[in-house]
Structure 1
Amino acid sequence: MNTIIQLYIKSYRGLSPAAWLLALVMLINRTGSMVIPFLGIYMSSELNFSKTQVGLVLGCFGLGSVCGSWLGGWLTDRFGNFKVQTWSLILTIPLFLITPQFRTFESLALMIFILTLVADIFRPANSVSVAKYAKPENITKAYSLNRMAVNLGFSIGPALGGFLATFSYDWIFYGNAMAAGVAALVFIYFFKDKKGNTKIDQPIRAEISPDKPAKNAYTDSLFILFNILCCLFSMAFFQLLSTLPLFYKDAYAMNESQIGLILGFSGFVIVLFEMVLVHLVEHRFTVKQIMFWGTAIAGFSYWMLNLDFGIMWLYLAMFFLSVGEMLTLPFTATIAIQRASLQNQGAYMGFNSLAFAAANIVSPFLGTFTAEHFGYNTLWTITGFILICTSFGFIWVITKMKSE
């Protein structure tokens, strides 16, 4: 027991107070993450949209995310991460409050696009702020801590959202608005006029990108290829937020509360294990080895869904998906920030965020279309295959980054 406690202490050691405060802001904001997991169910059950319409609206979610990620990176390099994060949080509040009034396919699609655009301006600015306030030698830990806060909020949000949905789906949107408001107040209080570091962790940079003059993120060929792989990973992985809840409802007749619990379980696993897992692997294995195994394990978790061994099997598959996420996503952010110079971190983080966001344009539609016309088993087989191929792609591109 003492050994386990010491391991947890080592995992969190060295993180700056500012990193903890950023994680607190993210925790508050993501505790309100009730809309995304239930958006597909809300449209199919409450609004009686077809699966194709559900996929198209979720595609608008992805399009808004792409535009917001690009715009957020551009704004961050020009106005700084503090202003961008502050205004993104503030402006999402009224948008969440009025969204339930839009109940037709066309109006909801437009509203989801606008809401996601404004909300995702936050993402590249937040990624830059993590790098700004983290100690250089602990940058991957700082990203993991931030993700831990995201997932702790995500473990609470869907469970709370599932409970609120039993009364009214409108309350899911109102809950998101309240969380964004509290997060904005906390962020402004702690980070107004706060200074960060300007150093870069050279050992990590040397592994993924030799020292060179600053590049343009959008003409950096290896970074473009890396982001294409991140997009493929996202297209497969984020079935978690689109078709997977529908699968639970259609194949296992799970209600909103049960779906919220299993999605919340993913966040719980990540909160409990990610910092320790990153601590154990980051100095024992190379970045490309970690990315390979994380992506491959995520692919295996989707193949597990083709077998029906009951509810506990679904929880086991979710556990493996969470392990794959823990091994992959913290290091994608590390690679992106270390590939950048101090002058264009916003552009690099925005481009990387855009890669994940772009998948959400086509991923929900392709997922729902495949499930509706070919069945869920076909969807999970294809999803797993994409992730396995992507795992080999990560090995190739990271090797090229190191030796270019």
Structure 2
Amino acid sequence: MKLFNSYINTFKGLSKEAWMLSIVMLINRSGSMVLPFLGVYMTDHLKFSLENAGIVLSFYGIGSVLGSWLGGYLTDKFGEYYIQTWSLFLSAPIFLIIPFFPSVEMMAVLIFLQSTISDTFRPANSVAITKYARPENLTKAFSLNRMAVNLGFSIGPALGGVLSGISYNFLFVFNFIGALVAGIIYVIFFRKRNKIFREKKKSETTEVIKKTGKSPYKDYPFLLYSFLCTVFAICFFQFFNTIPLFYKDVAKLSQSTIGFILGYSGFIIVLLEMPLVSIAERTLKIPQILFLGAVLAGLSYLMLVFGSNILWLIISMTVLCVAEIWALPFMSTVTALRSENGNKGAYMGVNGIAFSFSFIITPFLGTYVVSRFGFDSLWYGSFVVLAISAVLLYIIVKKMLPAK
């Protein structure tokens, strides 16, 4: 009972708005079941070659980069409420259109368009979190939002597996429904709150309203920090690409067992993220937390060199989950703390771009290293790169954030 109460206490202090932003994210991500099955849909149903399927998937990454930049720019210009609303409502119908254009060229165009529109949502959502969360609960609010993302990605693929067994068209229909329902709930809850917030802003002094802050593209320490976030993400997001290949080809696991381990990771994050974030905030400073997160990620990959039995793989995945918990939400917090009132969208956009680049680079780089040098070289290399990144993150973040 004490353990349960302690867990519940980690959520205290979070505003209703922070909870609702996470609920909207949960609904939206639970409906996002096309992406995990997109490669299978193209090769199995549309009979695309692996090369052509890879080209289409790369357009998703390119659209994600553009969407992150565009979302940051438009959020600073029009406000996060309107960008989140339009992103949800415009992305919904595209899901219904995709099945009617089964050529490689049109699939690439539509997936690019879809990811561009969908990913304008991310910087706007991050700005909304900074807007409605209390400063002392900022990292918790980001963590709650990430919990919603992870829970949504656990529900979505599981439901998608059932639906795709009936018909792939059901995937696109449920993606449409998920985005539409998320948009409706978001507008109902935040429309009045946004109006009140805008009226409050109008009552502030002209000097405050006109303050735009420095461009993140001229903030060179922040750009270096964002580059290090990209390096971390390139290594970390092997989770979606080379790790399942390692489980299949080296560990000789069945598809169901691979699914169990990947599902386990989502469960661990949902269960442990808030308590671990709370512990880290009480006992460590942000540079130290990011250092530990990057080092633990490297160690989780290094462990794969020394064994591939199921228990060892679960331990390695657990370490990687803790690394994720102590890295990703605090990376968002650093970005929020570095930004100012007039440029939060631009800063969040750059942070989103840093991670979006990894969606383009990771699949090709990981498989290239494995095909040329083997899995062990990839794991050793990932450990070395993450260890160096950990040191550099510690140094740059310590200089970027004001001393307390």
The answer on whether the counterparts of 2:96 and 2:173 sit within 8 Å (CA) in structure 1 is: yes
Partner of 2:181: 182
Letter in 1 for 2:13: G
For residues 241 and 56 of structure 2, what CA distance do their matches in structure 1 show? 11
The answer on whether the counterparts of 2:338 and 2:400 sit within 8 Å (CA) in structure 1 is: no
Q: Point out the more displaced range, 336-345 or 305-314.
A: 305-314
Q: Does 1:221 align with 2:220?
A: yes
Partner of 1:114: 113
Letter in 2 for 1:220: D
Letter in 2 for 1:340: S
Q: Point out the more displaced range, 165-174 or 363-372.
A: 165-174
Partner of 2:205: none
Give secondary structure in 2 for the equivalent of 1:15.
Answer: coil
Q: Does 1:331 align with 2:321?
A: no
Deviations 1:175-203 (A, max 9, x none): 3222111111111111113148799xxxx
Q: Tell me the percent identity.
A: 48
For residues 304 and 102 of structure 1, what CA distance do their matches in structure 2 show? 44
The structure with higher relative contact order (CA 8 Å, sep 6+) is 1
Q: 1:331 to 1:318 in 2, by over 3 A?
A: same
Partner of 2:297: 298
For residues 239 and 369 of structure 1, what CA distance do their matches in structure 2 show? 12
The answer on whether the counterparts of 2:334 and 2:401 sit within 8 Å (CA) in structure 1 is: no
Partner of 1:207: none
For residues 217 and 287 of structure 1, what CA distance do their matches in structure 2 show? 20
Partner of 1:344: 343
Letter in 2 for 1:90: F
Partner of 1:287: 286
Letter in 2 for 1:387: L
The answer on whether the counterparts of 1:64 and 1:117 sit within 8 Å (CA) in structure 2 is: yes
For residues 182 and 56 of structure 2, what CA distance do their matches in structure 1 show? 27
Partner of 1:160: 159
The alpha carbon displacement at 1:219 in A equals 0.6
Q: Point out the more displaced range, 17-26 or 162-171.
A: 162-171
**Pairs aligned (count):** 390
For residues 318 and 177 of structure 1, what CA distance do their matches in structure 2 show? 32
The answer on whether the counterparts of 1:162 and 1:259 sit within 8 Å (CA) in structure 2 is: no
Q: 1:293 to 1:334 in 2, by over 3 A?
A: same
Q: Point out the more displaced range, 301-310 or 122-131.
A: 301-310
Q: Does 1:254 align with 2:293?
A: no
Q: 1:240 to 1:58 in 2, by over 3 A?
A: farther
For residues 17 and 229 of structure 1, what CA distance do their matches in structure 2 show? 33
The alpha carbon displacement at 1:237 in A equals 1.1
Give secondary structure in 2 for the equivalent of 1:193.
Answer: helix
The answer on whether the counterparts of 2:83 and 2:120 sit within 8 Å (CA) in structure 1 is: yes
Partner of 2:148: 149
Asked which structure has the greater CA Rg, the reply is 2
For residues 307 and 170 of structure 1, what CA distance do their matches in structure 2 show? 43
Partner of 2:131: 132
Partner of 1:10: 9
The answer on whether the counterparts of 1:85 and 1:121 sit within 8 Å (CA) in structure 2 is: yes
Letter in 1 for 2:285: T
Partner of 2:57: 58
Q: Give the gaps of 5 or more residues in structure 1.
A: 200-211
Q: Give the gaps of 5 or more residues in structure 2.
A: 201-210
The answer on whether the counterparts of 2:160 and 2:171 sit within 8 Å (CA) in structure 1 is: yes
Deviations 1:36-66 (A, max 9, x none): 3333444455555555545443322211111
Q: 1:178 to 1:304 in 2, by over 3 A?
A: farther
Instruction: Return the TM-score normalized by structure 2.
Output: 0.88
Equivalences for residues 307-318 of structure 1 within 5 A: 307-318=306-317
For residues 343 and 130 of structure 1, what CA distance do their matches in structure 2 show? 15
Give secondary structure in 2 for the equivalent of 1:166.
Answer: helix
Deviations 1:258-316 (A, max 9, x none): 54443322221111110011111112101011001111111222233334433343333
Letter in 2 for 1:347: A
Q: Does 1:67 align with 2:63?
A: no
The answer on whether the counterparts of 2:24 and 2:185 sit within 8 Å (CA) in structure 1 is: yes
Q: Does 1:320 align with 2:282?
A: no
The answer on whether the counterparts of 2:338 and 2:401 sit within 8 Å (CA) in structure 1 is: no
The answer on whether the counterparts of 2:30 and 2:178 sit within 8 Å (CA) in structure 1 is: yes
Equivalences for residues 21-32 of structure 1 within 5 A: 21-32=20-31
Letter in 1 for 2:94: L
Letter in 1 for 2:36: P
Letter in 1 for 2:237: F
Q: 1:100 to 1:264 in 2, by over 3 A?
A: farther
For residues 272 and 75 of structure 1, what CA distance do their matches in structure 2 show? 35
For residues 87 and 393 of structure 1, what CA distance do their matches in structure 2 show? 38
Give secondary structure in 1 for the equivalent of 2:126.
Answer: helix
Q: Point out the more displaced range, 311-320 or 37-46.
A: 37-46
Q: 1:283 to 1:184 in 2, by over 3 A?
A: same
